[in-house]
Structure 1
Amino acid sequence: MKVNKKKNVIETPSPVPRAATARSGTQSIERAAQLLRLVAAHQRDGVRLTQLADLAQLDVSTTYRILKCLVEEGLIEQRMPDKAYALGLLSFEIGLAAMQRSPLLERAIPAMKAIAAETGDTVYLVVRSGDEAVCLHREEGSFPIKALMLEVGGRRALGVGAGGLHLLSSLADDEIEQVCARNRAAIAQFRGLSIAELRDMVRDTRERGYGVSRDRLTEGVSGIGVAIPNPDGTPYAAISVAAISSRLHPERYAEVVKVIQHAIARFLTER
């Protein structure tokens, strides 16, 4: 409230419309969630402020204010002396609480153990989280050379990796284009993968009926991924098998896919 001396009246500032206030609050939550996902994706090495701002397409000052709040709440922490950000203890506590009663994990883990025992290779469970695929669980087979390409809690752009590729390929064309547009920078980090190449991989995946990643993430390592459908048929998770490429060669694809599909079909009947 202020006095207008020229008019000799008291003026009251116009209230901020509720819709605008609500939108501002929602946008702040969206940005905080986006930054949390980006920090989680770089958990092993940490990620610097300027890199986060660039990945989130936010200005540095806005990014810093949100990160400061997340640090104060314990959701992230800033490592010293490099000042890189990583997930904080509260994020781990929330994740552990969510995992304790996960129906998907309860059903999938026995199936993954069976796949690992039969193939001898490393088995991954990933779920879609927005524009990314997140690893929920990993089982190692008996073969001495392990393909440990993704840790539990690790994130990748949807479409990168065999499981994420089958999940992306299951979406409608317009949604795929939207996801790819938002993930363009993240996708390019994987051996220079382009959107055009990813479109070709989606086409091949649809024709094949499962995802294949051969020497794409790491030279000499390949993966086979099969999506897990919801009751309505919409995929929400995927199981993949990874091994050195000389072991997981094209002649073996059908055999491995059959093992994965059989295990998925078995635990889907237990719903």
Structure 2
Amino acid sequence: MGSALKYRMIALDVDGTLLNDHYEITENTRRTIAQIHAEGCRIVLCTGRGPKNTLPLLEQLGVSGTAITHNGAVTIDGTIDKVLSIITIPTDHLAPLVGYCRERGMHFDVNSAFHLFVERLGAFEKEMYAKYLNSPIVLPAIEELPEPAVKLTMFGEPSVMDQAEKDWAGSGKALRMTRSGDFFIDFMEPEATKGAALRKLAGMWGIPRESIMAIGNYFNDLEMLEYAGLGIAMQNSPEEVKSRADAVTASNNHDGVHQAIVRYMYSQA
């Protein structure tokens, strides 16, 4: 590595980027992120996850940092667990999606800033949530949400999600739809994106976009990759994501984040 940081902030997607397919942070990646943090680079995790299963990753990395969660709907200062920004969903915007899922027997969950709510929780769903360190709260009906919603997620086999994506495509919808994985579709208010949240955070810190590196692997990362001065896609990204990034690094199973930092973060002396 060289001597001077080229970027003052690095925005990192979590699943499929920071974590390998075993949901682990490799030692190479942990050590490299700890080094740039010690040298003054701000670490921002940008994810579709909520704070409760994102902030522990900062602890694993051994760094203080910030988390843009729920695909940009909630930003948390990880050092003091303070909400820096939040974009909530009005109840009437949720109703059509909830009805669609119920009619088709499709699993869905609704997130508040810090909690995840479901109407049913079978063995298959429990296994899925456990992988992401989530502990859902079961309600008799989502209409009984005790807290404002920030995101609704549909979950199912890729073919089912493909059809749902087609059904909800087009204009005139109250909420923005983003495919956050082969098995997931997320719905948030239109202004809730990782890119918009990153822009707002950079403004708070006085960091120009040219001083930001972002690394991600899926469609919900596109606004973030395109806002950053350098947007890097993982090798395991869909081709459209790679084509819209500035560069491509190795996959999440081959230390892609570590390799990108080593290659792009430093100005050579």
Q: State if a TM-score over 0.5 links the two structures.
A: no
Rg larger in 1 or in 2?
1
Flag the structure with more relative contact order, 1 or 2, with Cα contacts below 8 A and sequence separation at least 6: 2
Give the TM-score normalised by the residue count of structure 1: 0.25
Give the TM-score normalised by the residue count of structure 2: 0.25
Structure with greater proportional helix content = 1
